[in-house]
A and B are shown apart, each in its own frame.
Chain A
């Protein structure tokens, strides 16, 4: 009896199954036989047109890798290979050419009254230390930096690829690590000389007289720093800060959520400001050495000839020569 019921149950089950699949059959057949699963799919060109980047999700910890495609690299390459070379070439060679022309026209600017034989302290030991700390590191940073942009086209043909790589690797380390000394130099220079570098009325006269650079330019008034030197000071402080900030961004890549776009911008900024900075410092080196008699000793020995000081920094000499007690009673000009 139980066997018969089990048999009936099996037959009923089979019938229900056949019925259900039979019903399901026609429904399946009603589905369209050509679907375009691509209708709603993401499209490469659309994404690129919208954001110029294709970004998604990945399964590895490196979140940078979730950017699938970033064609902007091609633009950055044009900047690095073409634009920056032109900027650097024009700025540096242009400045050198300008200085050669200026030298041929003006020659070394002599101390008009000749040397007096008496000297006056211009920069103390600490000031000179800070200057040379900044100066030496700047020269190394400048040369190693130029190597990144111009080394491959100018230096590599002259040496073996292995030697050039070895030099470039050391240059890279020097560039990265000396940046800390340079930073200290710029910060100290900023604090040490800021008091004497605020613009005054005398600076306007100085610029109106062209800084006395012409053949009969005369001697414009100046305190410890003349208008041109003040301009140089602020350019070094601001340019230095720009180089330091963008440089540390490059040295600590992708920190704090920096993207590849940010890194490219930092490199572009660092490159352009760096090239202009080098051109500026070339002019500064010229004025401090070949361009003017009696100027270099201010930074080498710390003293200058009194006649030199009277001609180039008359107001500063007045301040220095005034009796200490009397100076205090004078209103600050």
Chain B
């Protein structure tokens, strides 16, 4: 099986936010919650870079480690998913996540955040693939249909790559070799404990 990863080529991202919109629309993510977002560093200054970020589906995921009810699981494709029926909305996964991926439907006063929601790598949840229940809780399951995450699929500059980690690393390496520069795979060291040697 492939080891699924995200890679955002910061030298290509134009901060168009199409990935954010695509994600919200594909999964009908409610108001106030974002499974994916674009963060701009050094905004308006020389060297400005934008990076699209969502759950990185970490190796040995910290969210899964700290969850007091053990509601996370990792698929054969190394996608980190969770079971909303078990989630108690304690908010610990947000404290542990290095990428701010977990989202909650409510503000969280008195500990009532509601069920956590996050990027599923377009792979749904524990319910039957493509079922109505799965869609309502976790959004579309594109992976089960043989498709990759929509955010990356429709990225206009092909900055955001999603798929088999080895394949997207190779694509990135070739890009860097051809154009002569690259600011690296943002977040990879933190998420996967490895970088792409270019």
Contacts and interface: CB of A to CB of B under 8 A. Distances in A.
A44 B100 contact: no
B190 interface: yes
A56 B110 contact: no
Dominant SS among interface residues on chain A: helix
Interface string A222-258: 0000000000000000000000000000011110000
A264 to B, nearest CB: 5
A69 B85 contact: no
B5 interface: no
A81 B66 CA distance: 7
A197 interface: no
A76 interface: yes
A42 B49 contact: yes
Contacts of A263: 95
B105 interface: no
Interface stretch (B136-144, B152-160, B180-188): B180-188
Contacts of B135: none
Nearest to A66: B39
Interface in B47-74: 47-51, 53, 62, 65-71
Interface size band for A: 35 or more
Interface stretch (A159-167, A297-305, A310-318): A159-167
Interface string B98-117: 11100000001111000000
Contacts of A162: 85-86
A44 B47 CA distance: 12
B88 A168 contact: yes
A168 B68 contact: yes
A70 B91 contact: no
Given A59-B17, A147-B68, A156-B70, A252 B100 contact: no
B18 interface: no
Nearest to A169: B88
A192 interface: no
Contacts of A38: 11, 181-183
B62 A58 contact: no
A327 B99 CA distance: 68
A260 B100 CA distance: 9
Contact of B98 (A60, A62, A71, A252): A71
Contact of B65 (A69, A77, A173): A77
A90 B186 CA distance: 40
Contact of A68 (B48, B53, B95): B53
Most buried by B among A77, A151, A251, A252: A77
A256 to B, nearest CB: 13
Most buried by A among B20, B69, B83: B69
B96 interface: yes
Contacts of B83: 161
B120 interface: no
A168 B69 CA distance: 7
B111 A57 contact: no
A176 B181 contact: no
B14 interface: no
Nearest to A255: B109
Nearest to B91: A253
A113 B86 CA distance: 59
A165 B71 CA distance: 9
Contacts of A41: 10-11, 47-49, 183
A136 interface: no
B38 interface: yes
Contacts of A55: 39, 41
17 contacts: A44-B186, A45-B184, A56-B43, A57-B43, A62-B34, A64-B100, A65-B100, A67-B100, A69-B53, A71-B190, A73-B95, A76-B96, A148-B68, A161-B86, A162-B86, A165-B85, A260-B94
Rank and list the top 10 A-B pairs by shortest CB-CB distance, nearest first.
A40-B47, A56-B41, A38-B181, A77-B62, A169-B88, A68-B39, A56-B39, A41-B47, A165-B86, A176-B111
Given A76-B66, A148-B68, 10 more contacts: A38-B182, A41-B48, A42-B41, A57-B40, A65-B39, A70-B99, A73-B97, A165-B71, A251-B109, A263-B95
